[in-house]
Amino acid sequence: MLQIVRNAVLTAINHFNHDFIVSQNEILVERPKDVTLGDVCTNAAMVFAKRLGVTPHDLADAICHELLHNPNVLDTSIAGYGFVNIKVCNDYWRSLINRIILEGNNFSITNNIGNNNKLNIEFVSANPTGPLHTGHARNAVFGSVASNLLEKIGYKVTREFYINDQGNQIKHLARSVYLRYIELLGEIISEDQFNSDMYCGLYIKAIAQKVLDKYGDVFLNKPESEWLDILCNFSINCMLDNIKSDLDDLGVVMDVYTSEAELCRKGMVNEALDILQQHGDIYEGILPKPKGTSKEDWEERPQTLFKSTKYGDDVDRAIKKSDGTWTYFAGDLAYHLDKIRRGFNKMLLVLGADHNGYVKRMKAAVSALSNSQADIEIRLYQLVNFLENGKPVRMSKRKGQFITLKEVVDRVGKDVTRFMMVSRHHDVMIDFDFVKAVEFSMDNPLFYIQYAHARICSVFKYYKEIFNVNDISCRELLQVDKSSLIDDNEINLIKQLSFWPEQVKSAALAIEPHRIPVYLRDIAASFHSLWSKGKSEEQLRFINKNDKEKTLAKLSLLKATQIVLSDGLKILGITPLLEMTKD
RNA sequence: GUAUCCGUAGCUCAGUUGGAUAGAGCGUUUCCCUCCGGAGGAAGAGGUCGUUGGUUCAAAUCCAAUCGGAUACACCA
């Protein structure tokens, strides 16, 4: 339909000036805000009138004239300063029902944007020093829904988790486990032995028990050199199993786990540095003291630096610490070179808003390492406030008092967690209230959407009872005469459904998953409204016991609605409900 | 001090990349159950889109200031 309008605009412009060149995407065709005005509209007359030297109204008139040649166009009108509103005939809309039923979940696919190009999305990438907590929930869900969306527009998506299995924090983890291990063997441990860098959550004890089960008391009274490496590896593996299982419970599946330590062993850091060296992006220097923060212990020190300011960063970044070992950022350089080498020139990285300082340096790194051939997009998401019936839940990561992701999922379920995490724009903070999240009310939009889906299922069930059939074939729904669908409420629902592919496309391009729940809620609202109108207006009731033909026509519309709802929920990673059950 | 983000109805938020009279839910006021699940639906009230300029046919949206709020800012991960 949009193409039909575009062509009409082009032809109309040609009437006035044959040499006038217009590119297709200059012509904006969209749906009017007020649906009573028309089905599609274009502002082309206002945009081009001045350049053509005619009045907007004359151009609009010519566009209307062109459009009326098309059999699908019912009527056109000119409004305001020169908006062209187009009404499309109902047969066109009704024909969409069959298209949706035939295409099913493929209705929302637009392959030609990604063109099967590779795209890497890195998300979660939590330190393997503790279980996933609430902070990771939004990251995991955002990443997984974004992946689904990007696949819909034709990208070959690789979901990836970067394991920071190197550095001091891993040693602290191993030492913490060791303390609990010797405690299990009868040693008295005071809490003072856990310094501020160490981990004292309950999960440490669980790992210690596993160490004991596997190795017995062989590490007791042995120097650190004899157990540190073994416990590092053992602890990381335990934590990774834990993380993978938690992600699995949330419906998040990674394609690739990449180990930082492994990359270092392969010499990737040196390779990355060689590339930067060749471009003259590395030098020995001294970083200036950061302003604003009163760093008492600040001291100037010469370091190996990356000239990231050349690529738009605010300051240059250290690659080596003052003791000569690699910084964390050096590992990032290696990792992103690895991504580039694996053929990803499009990358997406999902980070919490507290990492906002990383955006520029990561973009600089990718740009420098790929000769500006690769591009990394970074999405920052705001943090989530957890509430218990309006009252904030206090968390202290230091004391090991934080809500784990597992606790959240166990309490409210995978589907509610996912919906809550992805229902807001990523730049907006989310209040996650444990009580309201599971309420069956309009405070909980997921319930409302699921209810619509369940109601549709219920209609199909009722149909089978009434007409005493075992199943409804797609062929019946495709072949039935749909001309009985004449009510505005019915046609409007089809119109809304017709925007679904566009909706998925725009959400994917903008990487804004929250648009999906917003749209699904609108669909659910139209459906609930239609349902209720059937109570007062009999011709709107879905099931007419005396007219199987009309009933099937209505059911075809419901089928199309159900397809869009369940496709949308599938993108969100949520299982559509066949019936609502309390508790 | 610098960077990133936010500011839209009493509250929580949408606003499809600059379009028409600004959109939902909660709350509030009123109405609708002999019903394919009322766990719903229909309607009313509620707005100087933080403020001031600028860009143009057109600004909540883009630009520049400015006010308020969140986060981050050597080395550590």
Q: What are the extents of the domains in chain A?
A: 2-88, 121-162+253-381, 168-249, 445-572
Q: Count CB neighbours of A400 within 10 A.
A: 14
Residue A311 DSSP symbol:
G
Question: A445-572 has which CATH code?
Answer: 1.10.730.10
Per the listing, tokens 């600040």 go with: A298
Q: Does domain A2-88 correspond to CATH entry 3.40.50.720?
A: no
Is pLDDT above 80 for A32? no
Q: Which tokens hold the place of A233?
A: 């590896």
What sign has the CA pseudo-torsion A111, A117, A118, A121?
negative
Is pLDDT above 80 for A576? yes
Q: What is the pTM of this model?
A: 0.94
The percent of residues in chain A predicted with pLDDT above 70, rounded, is 96
Measured from Cα to the C1' atom, the residue closest to B75 is A321
Is the distance from CB of A252 to CB of A144 less than 8 angstroms?
yes
Is the distance from CB of A454 to CB of A447 less than 8 angstroms?
no
Instruction: Find the range with the poorest average confidence among A215-229, A302-316, A391-405.
Output: A391-405
Q: Which tokens hold the place of A423?
A: 């229902």
Tell me what pLDDT residue A583 has.
45
Is pLDDT above 70 for A400? no
Is the distance from CB of A564 to CB of A500 less than 8 angstroms?
yes
Is the distance from CB of A172 to CB of A130 less than 8 angstroms?
no
Is the distance from CB of A241 to CB of A132 less than 8 angstroms?
no
Do A2-88 and A121-162+253-381 share a fold?
no
The gap between A289 CA and B68 C1' (Å) is: 29
The gap between A46 CA and B53 C1' (Å) is: 26
pLDDT in tens, A342-356: 999 999 999 999 999
CATH superfamily of A121-162+253-381: HUPs (3.40.50.620)
Q: Which tokens hold the place of A290?
A: 């950061």
Mark residue A175 as left, alpha or beta (left: phi above 0; alpha: psi -120 to 50; beta: remaining).
alpha
The gap between A55 CA and B57 C1' (Å) is: 11
Looking across all nucleic acid strands, the nucleotide with the smallest C1' to CA distance from residue A582 is B39
Looking across all nucleic acid strands, the nucleotide with the smallest C1' to CA distance from residue A455 is B37
Is pLDDT above 60 for A284? yes
Per the listing, tokens 């609605």 go with: A561
Looking across all nucleic acid strands, the nucleotide with the smallest C1' to CA distance from residue A521 is B24
Is pLDDT above 60 for A204? yes
Short-list A7, A132, A117, CA closest to A70 = A7
Measured from Cα to the C1' atom, the residue closest to B37 is A455
Is pLDDT above 90 for A298? no
Measured from Cα to the C1' atom, the residue closest to B1 is A292
Is the distance from CB of A563 to CB of A108 less than 8 angstroms?
no
Looking across all nucleic acid strands, the nucleotide with the smallest C1' to CA distance from residue A305 is B74
Protein-proximal nucleotides of chain B (any atom < 7 Å from a CB):
1-6, 12-17, 19-27, 32, 35-42, 57, 71-77
Residue A413 sits at the vertex; the CA angle it makes with A407 and A419, to the nearest 5 degrees, is: 110
Tell me what pLDDT residue A56 has.
82
The gap between A18 CA and B42 C1' (Å) is: 53
Short-list A386, A480, A394, CA closest to A433 = A386
Measured from Cα to the C1' atom, the residue closest to B41 is A532
Cα A460 to Cα A466: distance, rounded to the nearest angstrom: 10
The gap between A111 CA and B71 C1' (Å) is: 37
Q: What is the DSSP string of A184-231?
A: HTT----GGGS-TTS--SHHHHHHHHHHHHHHTTTTTT--HHHHHHHH
The gap between A66 CA and B58 C1' (Å) is: 25
Is pLDDT above 50 for A492? yes
Looking across all nucleic acid strands, the nucleotide with the smallest C1' to CA distance from residue A522 is B24
Tell me what pLDDT residue A370 has.
95
The gap between A478 CA and B14 C1' (Å) is: 35
